[in-house]
Amino acid sequence: MKQSKLFLPTLREIPAEAEIVSHQLMVRAGLMRQLASGVYTYLPLGQRVLRKVQQIVREEMDAAGAQEILMPAIQPAELWKETGRWDAYGPELMRLKDRHNRDFVLGPTHEEVVTGLVRDNLNTYKKLPINLYQIQTKYRDEVRPRFGVIRSREFIMKDAYSFDTSRDGLDVSYQSMYDAYTRIFTRAGLTFRAVEADAGAIGGKGTHEFMALSDIGEDTIAYCTSCSYAANLEQAEVVYKPGSAREESRAAEKVPTPDVKTIEQLMNHFGAEARQLIKALVFKADDQFVIALVRGDHEINETKVKNLFDANVLEMATEAEMSALGIPVGFIGPIGLPDSVTLVADAAVQHMTNAVVGANEKDYHYKNVTPGKDFTVSKYADLRNIVEGDECPRCGGTIAFARGIEIGHVFKLGTRYSEKMGAKFLDENGKEQNMVMGCYGIGISRTVAACVEQNNDEHGMIWPWALAPYQIHVVPVNMKNEEQANLAASLYQSLQRAGYEVLLDDRAERAGVKFKDADLIGLPIRVTVGAKAGEGIVECKIRCTGEAKEIHIDELLTYVDEMKQSLQQQA
Ligand code: 9G3
């Protein structure tokens, strides 16, 4: 492609609204332009990268036996009413009415559509398992779109749905998608971890998120420095080891603590460390009031509390609800609770002795409180957030934290949708059964941003070979110099004939501008045609290492082939 013709509006200045590097670079390097908040146009360079990601995804999905389809973006509300999600989702679900005033949604995902499709067109075990996928635009009206296409309101997703006759079959489909995702993200040159995640509202047991490691990632990953264990912070299991021998427990004593409410104030008042305090939090699990206890130096994990009660919704109790229960805010504790409240505690609480805890009376706390002696809980469970340095639940190694951008998510859905929508099959005994489903998403546009986030320097992007919009950048220094312009044009032809994707910077720009733009766009190999063109000498520069070498044009093709090999290995 000749750069003088390419629609590539680069920018020198950083767009004000771009907070992260990938957003800044994708706009500055002319890959995309914002149309509205969270809505983007992909320009030629951005579209070429999107197509590369999609190409890898298609190859691996097809190799895994999935079949590509294309479902509509507008979906009749009736489908979402069948599963109850029409009412379950709020303003994030984009809705519209057609000319006949009928309700539709702009699809944020396609469980309803694909389950209806399979229900209406397949009903025998002989045609199962089946895996249908699409690459399509999704709509989610994010309350605060940010980070460019990482959290946008319209984005491109590959979403796949598997249908099996049994859970064992689902396990096979799930593993096959898990493996395909590993191949996809490896080929795309991303640094990623598959982490155990919480199935959340979508339900079903067993789910993994594929996280591109990045400091700007919105998710915290707990991973083991010794084995492959990794989990989303919400899900990471805490290994509970009873601490050292417990001290003698003393008699509990109620102590006036006027206006001593925060952990810090309590520590000062009692000269105690956080680990000697017990924090009590009041939740509403669906419509049941729950108090969860956790050691003062730990953090409650709301997902774990929610899962303990298998609740659909878990919320902090409001002050009004707490005072209605006669529980004074800031002085909550396990002693003297109303019977209507269920009391649970994190495992670490059970071996505390002589702890400080709220007295459920305004301006009072208890000290020397020992669980089992002064109060009992209905259940001890893993209810706290894992912290760095905790023990790995798999191998006993040490847990460390990283941040990640979720680029893939695989779910075991079970019969959640097939049951609600009547997607049944006749088994070999002629008995009707619900199909067992899995669903599998990849954020195509988000993967592009994650790649830029992981591959850049102060000059601009550094495209890995597999995703580069073009592979070789031929840059004649001075287009007014016949020798340089002609040699550059002939190299452009011969490299293309050799099968390379080449961008020729044939603009009549100063050298400095050309080199800055070349670094910004970040193609893997740059061939500079300069002063030594007359001797047939050009300079080859590898963008990711900065290594530059003078090469005679007779050796150029061999050298570029070698560079391609080594750059592909790096992925
Ligand atoms: C909605 C809205 C937002 C949503 C959903 C529904 C996320 C929703 C979860 C999934 C699960 C999987 C298939 C591909 C992989 C992910 N945000 N999810 O269901 F109505 Cl507004 O999308 N779907």
> pLDDT tier at 206 (50, 70, 90 boundaries)?
confident
Please work out whether the CB of residue 439 comes within 6 Å of at least one atom of ligand 1. yes
Find, among 419, 398, 404, 518, the residue nearest to 469 by Cα: 518
Q: How far is the CA of 447 from the centre of ligand 1 (A)?
A: 17
Q: How far is the CA of 442 from the centre of ligand 1 (A)?
A: 12
The stretch 216-224 carries a mean pLDDT of 93
Q: How far is the CA of 109 from the centre of ligand 1 (A)?
A: 5
* Stated pTM of the model: 0.89
> pLDDT tier at 416 (50, 70, 90 boundaries)?
very high
Please work out whether the CB of residue 541 comes within 6 Å of at least one atom of ligand 1. no
> pLDDT tier at 571 (50, 70, 90 boundaries)?
low
Does one domain contain both 38 and 167? yes
Does one domain contain both 144 and 277? no
Tell me the best of 87, 94, 109 to mutate to test the pocket of ligand 1, counting ligand atoms within 8 Å of each CB and taking the most: 109
Find, among 252, 311, 251, 254, the residue nearest to 283 by Cα: 311
Distance separating alpha carbons of residues 293 and 273, to the nearest angstrom: 17
Instruction: Let me know if residue 231 belongs to a domain.
Output: no
Distance separating alpha carbons of residues 555 and 553, to the nearest angstrom: 5
CATH number at residue 510: 3.40.50.800
- In the chain, the amino acid numbered 99 is R
Q: How far is the CA of 108 from the centre of ligand 1 (A)?
A: 6
pLDDT of residue 263: 85
> pLDDT tier at 565 (50, 70, 90 boundaries)?
very high
Instruction: Let me know if residue 75 belongs to a domain.
Output: yes
Q: How many domains does the chain have?
A: 3
Q: How far is the CA of 107 from the centre of ligand 1 (A)?
A: 9
Distance separating alpha carbons of residues 204 and 58, to the nearest angstrom: 26
Tokens describing residue 18? 């771009």
277 contact partners, CB below 8 Å, separation of at least 6: 263, 266, 267, 270, 295, 296, 355, 356, 357
Q: Which is more confident, 15 or 345?
A: 345
Does one domain contain both 443 and 520? no
Instruction: Let me know if residue 522 belongs to a domain.
Output: yes
- In the chain, the amino acid numbered 95 is R
pLDDT of residue 200: 63
The stretch 405-427 carries a mean pLDDT of 96
pLDDT of residue 199: 67
Does one domain contain both 335 and 280? yes
Q: Is the pLDDT of residue 203 over 60?
A: no
- pLDDT one-digit tens code per residue, 99-154: 999 999 999 999 999 999 999 999 999 999 999 999 999 999 999 999 999 999 99
Nearest CA to ligand 1 atom 4: 108
Instruction: Let me know if residue 243 belongs to a domain.
Output: no
Q: Is the pLDDT of residue 566 over 80?
A: yes
Does one domain contain both 439 and 496? no
Instruction: Let me know if residue 64 belongs to a domain.
Output: yes
Nearest CA to ligand 1 atom 11: 202
Q: How far is the CA of 138 from the centre of ligand 1 (A)?
A: 9
Q: Which atom of ligand 1 is nearest to the CA of 80?
A: 20
Residue ending a domain, among 428, 452, 476, is: 452
Instruction: Let me know if residue 544 belongs to a domain.
Output: yes
Does one domain contain both 526 and 563? yes
Q: Residues 369, 357: contact at Cβ < 8 Å?
A: yes
Does one domain contain both 29 and 140? yes
The mean pLDDT value of the chain amounts to: 95
- pLDDT one-digit tens code per residue, 286-345: 989 999 999 999 999 999 999 999 998 899 999 999 989 888 888 999 998 888 899 999
Q: 């009004």: which residue's tokens?
A: 320
Chain center to CA of 277 = 35
- Degrees to nearest 5, angle at CA 287 with 286 and 291: 85
- pLDDT one-digit tens code per residue, 359-375: 999 999 999 999 999 99
Chain center to CA of 298 = 25
Please work out whether the CB of residue 71 comes within 6 Å of at least one atom of ligand 1. no
Q: Is the pLDDT of residue 245 over 80?
A: no
Does one domain contain both 425 and 484? no
Longest dimension (CA), the chain: 96
CATH number at residue 273: 3.90.960.10
Does one domain contain both 315 and 347? yes
The stretch 427-446 carries a mean pLDDT of 97
pLDDT of residue 201: 58
Q: Is the pLDDT of residue 246 over 80?
A: no
Please work out whether the CB of residue 198 comes within 6 Å of at least one atom of ligand 1. no
Does one domain contain both 184 and 76? yes
Nearest CA to ligand 1 atom 10: 109
- pLDDT one-digit tens code per residue, 89-99: 999 999 999 99
Q: How far is the CA of 170 from the centre of ligand 1 (A)?
A: 19
CATH number at residue 155: 3.30.930.10
Q: Which atom of ligand 1 is nearest to the CA of 85?
A: 20
Instruction: Let me know if residue 523 belongs to a domain.
Output: yes
Q: Which domain holds residue 534?
A: 463-570
Does one domain contain both 40 and 180? yes
Instruction: Let me know if residue 121 belongs to a domain.
Output: yes
Q: How far is the CA of 47 from the centre of ligand 1 (A)?
A: 24
> pLDDT tier at 260 (50, 70, 90 boundaries)?
confident
Distance separating alpha carbons of residues 171 and 65, to the nearest angstrom: 15
Please work out whether the CB of residue 92 comes within 6 Å of at least one atom of ligand 1. yes
Q: How far is the CA of 142 from the centre of ligand 1 (A)?
A: 12
Q: Which is more confident, 392 or 323?
A: 392
Report DSSP letters for 229-292, one per residue: -EEETTTPPPPP---SPPPPPPPPEEEE-TT--SHHHHHHHHT--GGGBEEEEEEEETTEEEEE
Q: Which atom of ligand 1 is nearest to the CA of 157?
A: 14
Does one domain contain both 52 and 175? yes
Q: How far is the CA of 550 from the centre of ligand 1 (A)?
A: 52
Q: Which atom of ligand 1 is nearest to the CA of 93?
A: 21
Distance separating alpha carbons of residues 387 and 398, to the nearest angstrom: 10
Q: Which atom of ligand 1 is nearest to the CA of 441?
A: 15
